[in-house]
Structure 1
Amino acid sequence: MRQRWVSRRSFLAGSAAAGLVLASGPRPLKAAEKVVVRLDFAPWGIHGAMHLAQVNGWFEEAGLDVEIQDGKGTLDTIQLVGAGRVEVGQVQLGPMAVARENELPVKSFAGFARRSDLAVLVDRETGPDTAEGLEGLKLSCFTASPWAPFIDPFLEASGLSRDTVDVVMVSPPAMVSTYASGEADGFMSLAPFGPPLVEDTRPAKPILAIDKGIVFPSYGLIATEETIADSSDKLAKLAEVQIRAWEYIFDGHVDEAVQAIIDQRPNADLNPDTLHGQMAAYDDFFVTEATAGLGYGIQADEDWEMAIASMEEAGVISEGHMPEEYYTNDLLT
């Protein structure tokens, strides 16, 4: 049998052709970018967009590998973000401003619930209709609540004090149960959060803190200034997915988002009616006069100017701050 010899030129030509074939073949996919997001609390309605995006694969589509952690309160999450222990927090933005006063370099890069939602929840039938009517009543709260920095300013603006209103600090689960059982006359919470929790036990109505000048944007996404600068593309993708999720939810898909929370937290013994009530109630808190016509996530100087004035007057931040210290719209398309 004749042996076939291959010339050096033919060998090189064949190798080049093989290289072209390999180069034109499938290439490995780029690894998803890891993001750790810490929420404010145990699962509830405002978490709908995070869990819906996870269940529907929207984070994966955007090239993100998102770990969603439950929190132990807005203040705790802000501290963890400020210390660099998690990248992103979903929290109340008013306490974030107070945290900056304490030299935590945190900033919001997307705002969703842009209208103030702090409220005192009292009995729907027998409770007072105004803050002044809280005199002599017992209210429950918890230490890591977004209310914590604003309790005294709110009472003072209402002509009250802790001498005339009994504010007791309890554990987060006990805050609602003390009210529902009648051990407290009200609890300091959020207008969309509290009423659905007690609808079947002791229906409640809100007394809004904004009526006493406690004004600041509600839930948004925060990170340190360093993370915003160094991971802007990744955070922009996260914000874009959340905008998509909230638009989808409020376009008639609240129940789908409720189910997503339950699917993601199957051991949490969650009530779908409560989650639905909380999530649906936030539709009224997503737009302010200054953000009317603007897309979800975008924040406005006018809202932050009012918030700064409110917090300066309350003494929880010093004077001389500007809106750009607290938020950026640069990551939103």
Structure 2
Amino acid sequence: MKRNTGVFRYLTGLLAGAVIGALTIAAPAQAAESLLVRLDFSPWGMHGAMHLAKEKGWFAKEGLNVEIQDGTGTINTLQLLAAGKVDVGQVSLGTMAVAKEHGLDLISIAGFARSGDLAVMTDEKLGIKKPKDLIGKKIVCFTASPWAPFIQPYLKANGIPDGAVNVVMVAPSAMVSTYASGNADGFMSQAPFGQPMVKKARPASALLLADSGISFPSYGLVSTSKVISAKRDAVKKLVQIEVRAWKYIYDGHIDEAVAAILAQRPNAKLDPTVLKGQIEAYRPFFNSPSGKDVPFGVQTDADWAAAIKSMEQTGQIKPGHKPADYYTNSLLAN
């Protein structure tokens, strides 16, 4: 019997395709590795890179399933990190150093806002030019704020007696509104966060903590040795994506970052003008105090040495620490 070679080849091809298809279906897809990231606070401009990477699918493209939680303050996020409840936190690195002094297993894995941004902001109409002008004024803050460990050292460094400034602790959600409504003369927060928030209602001038000789890096990513050991590759991908996201944002794409925050947090009733103002205001703080053109994310011994000196002088940490105790650049791109 003569074989119909055309039909035979056709059927053979179908059979081979079916087998390959069956194998493809049977082979389990590689599961994305999950990371839980907790931010410092409710949504604001400094969260732009994290939300942008999520919105654009950059995490998913690298095989990461990243859950992003809003926070209730840097201190709370650090506590959850140390307790193993989250994998990575985006927080104030100065506050991390203080928490580490109290025995928490924490390490900074990327630094973004590397210049000190904490400030006392007061109504421009009050004409406050120096810290001693704060005497007799009511200033609001909140317990879990990055400011909390540094309030007394700041007042002491400027020769302000105890009780001379009325520092009142309020709920995090009430701090800005208390100031904006006129029920306080000022508030303690990060200058690039706070000034855009109150620009419309009650413009504020700022006294930077760093100008009083208390200096340390600001926002970055923090994890623990346990998480880095268990999920090193995933955390490394997260860090490098975040670095690329910040480069992208400051390369003319701030509006995309704002849009990503709004898309990721649609029920938060956010003002896009404020978000944009915060991201714009943070750009100078991304510069490393120790030198020009230090790549985003990279931390330096010089910056941390200055921070250690400040925190030793103010009693926040004990003498004897070295920069490597607080950070690593090993998860950044080579």
Q: Could you state the TM-score of these two structures normalised by the residue count of structure 1?
A: 0.92
What displacement does 1:319 show?
Answer: 0.7
Structure 1 gaps of 5+ residues are 1-13
Distance 1:161 1:44 in 2: 34
String of CA shifts for 1:96-145, please: whole Å, max 9, x gaps. 00111111001111111111100000112323011121111110000000
Structure 2 gaps of 5+ residues are 1-11
Map of 2:189 onto structure 1: 189
Map of 2:152 onto structure 1: 152
What displacement does 1:23 show?
Answer: 9.9
String of CA shifts for 1:80-102, please: whole Å, max 9, x gaps. 00110111100000110011111
The RMSD of aligned alpha carbons is 1.9
Map of 1:314 onto structure 2: 314
Map of 1:251 onto structure 2: 251
Is the CA contact (8 Å cut-off) linking 1:95 and 1:149 kept in structure 2?
A: yes
Map of 1:43 onto structure 2: 43
Is the CA contact (8 Å cut-off) linking 1:291 and 1:298 kept in structure 2?
A: no
Off by >6 Å, runs of 4+ in structure 1: none
Letter matched to residue 67 of structure 2: E
Q: Indicate the SS of the match to 1:229.
A: helix
Map of 1:268 onto structure 2: 268
Map of 1:108 onto structure 2: 108
What displacement does 1:230 show?
Answer: 2.5
Distance 1:290 1:63 in 2: 35
Distance 1:23 1:299 in 2: 49
Is the CA contact (8 Å cut-off) linking 1:152 and 1:161 kept in structure 2?
A: no
Letter matched to residue 301 of structure 1: D
Q: Could you state the TM-score of these two structures normalised by the residue count of structure 2?
A: 0.91
Map of 2:121 onto structure 1: 121
Distance 1:47 1:314 in 2: 30
What displacement does 1:29 show?
Answer: 3.5
What displacement does 1:183 show?
Answer: 1.3
Q: Indicate the SS of the match to 2:71.
A: coil
Map of 1:226 onto structure 2: 226
Distance 1:320 1:102 in 2: 15
What displacement does 1:159 show?
Answer: 1.0
Map of 2:162 onto structure 1: 162
Distance 2:22 2:287 in 1: 49
String of CA shifts for 1:271-293, please: whole Å, max 9, x gaps. 00011111111101001232522
Is the CA contact (8 Å cut-off) linking 1:291 and 1:299 kept in structure 2?
A: no
Change (3 A) 1:63 1:161: farther
Distance 1:313 1:304 in 2: 14
Distance 1:312 1:81 in 2: 24
Is the CA contact (8 Å cut-off) linking 2:288 and 2:294 kept in structure 1?
A: no
Is the CA contact (8 Å cut-off) linking 2:139 and 2:168 kept in structure 1?
A: yes
